[in-house]
Structures are given as C-alpha cells and as structure tokens.
C-alpha cells in the first residue's frame, strides 16, 4: 500500500496569495517597494528560506535571513486564518485516509505556518503528521523533505507518491525516487517546462482539472 506525501501550499491549500502578501509586507518593511505577483511566482515551490536568501541578495538587504524569516512568518500567520482548501483535494485526502494509506504533509514552510494552515482548513484532523523546512537541511528541488517524510512513515521512498503543484517539487520527488502527481498552480510557471516532465500523472489544467478518483486509481495502481 503506497504512502502519499502532500505538498501543502498551492497543492492542498490556496495559500500562495497569502505568501505573496506576507513577502510584499516583509520587503516593504526593509524599504523595498513594488514587489509584484509576477516576481513572487518565480519562487513557487521554493522553500521560504531559500526564497528570502535570494531576495536578500537581490535587494541588498542587510538584515540576516533568520530575521527576515521571523518577519515573514509573522505576517503570514496574521493572514493564515483565511486559508482555503481546494475542495477536490479534500476529497482525495478523505478517499486515501478511508482506505488506510499512510499520509504526510511535506512543506517548505515553517512548522507554525503548516500548523496554522492545517487548522484553518480542518485538515489537521486528516493530516496530523508533517515535515517542515525546519526539519531538513535543503529545500526543493533537493529531495530532503520528501525523504524525511518517508523516514517518518517508515516507508521506502519507492513506495511513496508525491502530490505537488510546482516544478521544483516535481523535481524533488524525482530525485527522491518517488512517483509524482502534478497539479500545477494557476498563475505559476508553465506546466510545459522540463521540471514537470517527470510527473507520472499531470493535470495540466491545475486544480480545475484535478480528478480525485483518477488520482486515487493512479496512485494505488503502482504503475
């Protein structure tokens, strides 16, 4: 019976607009105005730490990354109560849970951000186990967070299916030796990019096209 590893942001919950706003407010605090949604989309699928390291260098911000992380996390938590789950993803999680599949969330966000999003959407009752960016050394596209999730479940990576919305996440699943269902985030990078090519099942149209029954059949077929 395969284990299923869910990315959180953009996959289970529609939190990308909240992360964009948290990032915009963070940069604004340090005198950087005009951070656009288009710029934000360059970092979809990239961990918060890695994103802030890049932005810190790009804009010459002197504050240490740990400070930027704390500021952005605080802004995100102020917004997170409005997080919404993608309805067909809830159905998919419920279907897998009813069948007894091991489930875990593996995210590039902080523990507090994950806990808040899961609680806000009621997913904490269905997905109480998670791995955060604080639990691993490297973010996606490195496979660390997915391999840590497999260890937490005591499941071989080859018996895991990852559900992802981003190219870096799909690549991380490939490097971890796991099968992958890709549901590209609307407004993010094109699903025609090479990073999405290794997904075993690709819902090219994103969440509007996602079919929980088809995803379940593919995930459990071992194909």
**Residue 58 to residue 19: CA distance in whole angstroms:** 19
Q: Which of 7, 14, 144, 165 is catalytic?
A: 7
Question: What sign does the dihedral 210-2-112-136 (CA atoms) show?
Answer: negative
Cα→Cα distances 179→110, 117, 146, 223, Å: 25, 25, 11, 9
**Strand, helix or coil at 6?**
strand
Tally: H helices and E strands in the chain: 9, 6
Active site residue 192: no
Give the residue among 67, 77, 71, 65 at the shortest CA–CA distance from 113: 77
Cβ atoms of residues 75 and 22 within 8 Å: yes
Residues 6+ apart with CB under 8 A from 21: 75, 79
Catalytic residues: 7
């Amino acid at each position: 019976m395969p284990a299923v590893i869910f990315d959180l942001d953009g996959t289970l919950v529609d939190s990308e607009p909240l992360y964009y706003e948290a990032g915009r407010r963070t940069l604004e605090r340090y005198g950087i105005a005009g951070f656009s949604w288009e710029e934000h989309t360059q970092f979809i699928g990239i961990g918060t730490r890695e994103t802030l390291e890049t932005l810190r260098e790009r804009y010459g911000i002197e504050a240490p990354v740990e400070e930027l992380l704390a500021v952005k996390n605080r802004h995100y938590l102020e917004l997170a109560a409005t997080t919404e789950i993608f309805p067909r993803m809830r159905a998919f999680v419920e279907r897998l849970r009813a069948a007894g599949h091991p489930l875990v969330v593996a995210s590039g966000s902080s523990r507090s951000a994950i806990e808040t999003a899961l609680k806000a959407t009621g997913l904490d009752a269905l997905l109480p186990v998670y791995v955060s960016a604080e639990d691993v050394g490297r973010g996606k596209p490195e496979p660390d967070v997915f391999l840590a999730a497999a260890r937490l479940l005591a499941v071989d990576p080859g018996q895991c299916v990852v559900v992802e919305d981003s190219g870096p996440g799909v690549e991380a699943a490939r490097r971890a030796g796991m099968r992958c269902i890709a549901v590209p985030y609307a407004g993010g990078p094109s699903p025609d990019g090479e990073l999405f090519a290794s997904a075993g099942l690709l819902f090219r149209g994103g969440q509007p096209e996602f079919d929980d029954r088809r995803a379940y059949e593919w995930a459990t077929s071992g194909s």
